[in-house]
Each structure stands twice: as structure tokens, then as C-alpha cells.
Amino acid sequence: MTPPPPALLHVVRAGALTTVQDAGRPGWAHLGVGRAGALDAPAARLANRLAGNGPDAAVLETTLTGCAVRATRPVVAVVGGAVCRVTVDGRPAAWGLPVRVPAGAVLEAGPALSGLRGYLAFGGGLEPRPVLGSRSADLLSGLGPAPLRDGDTLPLGAPAHRDGPPSPDTVPWPAAPAELVLPVHLGPRHTWFTEAALRTLLTAGYQVSEHSNRIGLRTEGPSLERARTGELPSEGMVLGAVQVPPDGRPVVFLNDHPTTGGYPVVAVVPQAALAAAAQAVPGTPLRFVRA
């Protein structure tokens, strides 16, 4: 008997930047490989739970403009993260809850109404070829599947629940931050900055820059004055490192950050606080506070 063809997800509209993400590939920094993975990890895990998947199943991460896809088999899908209008073949569907999508129907997540990054989970998860144990796209290194384009296809895994996941209770989705408050610990190179600069970091108002991306959240606001001149040899960088380039404006390293860098790290944001940064749209007020 000929086995049935694999179930596929066809990309009808890729949107501005849509990538495949899972829990990422931590543990490879010694080889120069970053972790990647969903920027808003709690949102990705919640979408997977509602779709009946394990927490680390691969999902789609959209950026601002959403996307549209069509599956070759019936599928239970969940659209969460950034709030948006959801439709199935043009008919309104629920945001943030499981939706049954017939084979061949177009599921569309529209432009974000609140927040920045959306997460689309599908029963069975997405199954592109893993690289170093993860299916995540890393925009800096190029590892994992490339950002999606119109017409791309992705394999779908087999759902754990034949009849769809159990009906969920009402679940809370965190709102996008009206003001982004990031707790920080002083970093290994905070002595490279003046006392006035450290006070500025912890008291001044910043804004999220439109030049932010999956590599780093860039800021607009006062520059931090150095107490020391010169440059450092490249040294290891961690997720949440607050690096200060020559213009003096802090950059918070996110999941696709380089594993080494030569600009001084003035502070570090704990990983648990970074999910809100994934949903902060350009122009969002930003403050750094002592953790």
C-alpha cells in the first residue's frame, strides 16, 4: 500500500518577516552558534498548549503584518501573541483559542493590532529539518529554515489528539507593554562608564527604536558616557546583555545575538524579563531599573 503523502503547510502570504521557531538551540555558544528560538517564549508555549502540542513544538513567528497559510489536511491552529484579526477563508475566527481549519482553507493572521510578534501553532507542530537539535531560524548565522516567502511549504507533524486538543478553559494572554520596564544587573564592564552614565541608565527615559530586530532591541535616548576609552577584545555575550556601541545608546541582545562582541556590556537583563521586549513596538517608552 502506498503511504499517504505528507501533510504540508503552504505559505500564501509570508508577511514582513515570518520564521519558524521553537525553544531554540542553547548550549552551542562555545562553537559560535546562538540560541535563536521564539522571542516571546511564553506566548509560543501557550499557543502550543492550546493546539495540543508539547511546549517546544515548532511554530510560526510573525512580525507586525501577520501571514496567511493553507494546510493540505484538516488542522487545529492557534493564533496568539500579538493581537490580530483571524480569518478562515475570509470568515472571522477566534484569536487566542483553538480553531479547526479544514483542508485547503486559508488561515490568515492579519496585521498586529496590539504587540509586534504573533505565534501560529498547528496541531502536530511544524517539522522542517532540525539543525543542531532545533528547527528555529537564526537570522544572524543563517542556520535553520530561511524566513518564509510566498509559495514556500513546510511539513506538518501528526497531531497528538486525533479529534483535536481538549477544549481549554479561558486562558490569559499578556498584553503588549504600554511601557517596557527592563530590570537589569550591572554588567561585567559597568566600570567602563562614568557614575553619571550609570545614573542615566537607571533613571532616564528611552524609547524602543524602529531599528530593533531579532538580534537586538535598540534604544533611542540619552547616550552613556564612558569613563575609559579604547576597545575591548571580543568576549562572550549572553542573552539579555546590554551592550553600548560607540553612539552610547544601549542595545539589549535578543535571541539571534552574536556569541561574542567587543563593545562593553554595561548591564544584563534577566532572560525571564525579555518576553515583553518581543512585543514592544517602535516608540514604546522604555526604562531600565535595578533588578
Tens-digit pLDDT profile for residues 241-274:
999 999 999 999 999 999 999 999 999 999 999 9
**Alpha helices, DSSP H only, in the chain?**
41-51, 195-203, 275-278
Q: What is the pLDDT of residue 100?
A: 95
Q: What is the pLDDT of residue 162?
A: 67
3-state secondary structure of 252: strand
Q: Which of 52-56, 172-176, 178-182, 285-289 has the lowest mean pLDDT?
A: 172-176
Q: Taking 70 as the threshold, does the pLDDT of residue 212 lie above it?
A: yes
Domain with CATH 2.40.100.10 in the chain: 180-290
Higher-confidence residue: 60 or 232? 60
Do residues 72 and 104 touch, judged by C-beta distance below 8 A? yes
User: The pTM is what?
Assistant: 0.94
Q: What are phi and psi of 200, to 5 degrees?
A: -60, -45
CATH fold of 180-290? Cyclophilin (2.40.100)
Do residues 157 and 57 touch, judged by C-beta distance below 8 A? yes
Q: What is the pLDDT of residue 271?
A: 95
Rounded Cα–Cα distance for residues 158 and 136 (Å)? 19
Residue-averaged pLDDT of the chain: 94
Do residues 3 and 152 touch, judged by C-beta distance below 8 A? no
- In this structure, the strands spanning 180-186 and 285-290 are parallel
Mean pLDDT, residues 17-22: 98
Tens-digit pLDDT profile for residues 125-142:
999 999 999 999 999 999
Q: What is the pLDDT of residue 166?
A: 66
Q: What is the pLDDT of residue 229?
A: 85
Q: Tell me the residue length of the chain.
A: 291
3-state secondary structure of 247: coil
Grid cell 501560529 is found at: 120
CA dist 13 → 58, 110, 155, 174, 220 (Å): 19, 10, 17, 26, 32
Return the DSSP state at 190: G
Tens-digit pLDDT profile for residues 168-208:
666 789 999 999 999 999 999 999 999 999 999 999 999 99
Mean pLDDT, residues 142-147: 96
CA angle 134, 25, 54 (to 5 degrees): 55
pLDDT band at 3 (very low <50, low <70, confident <90, very high): low
Tens-digit pLDDT profile for residues 79-129:
999 999 999 999 999 999 999 999 999 999 999 999 999 999 999 999 999
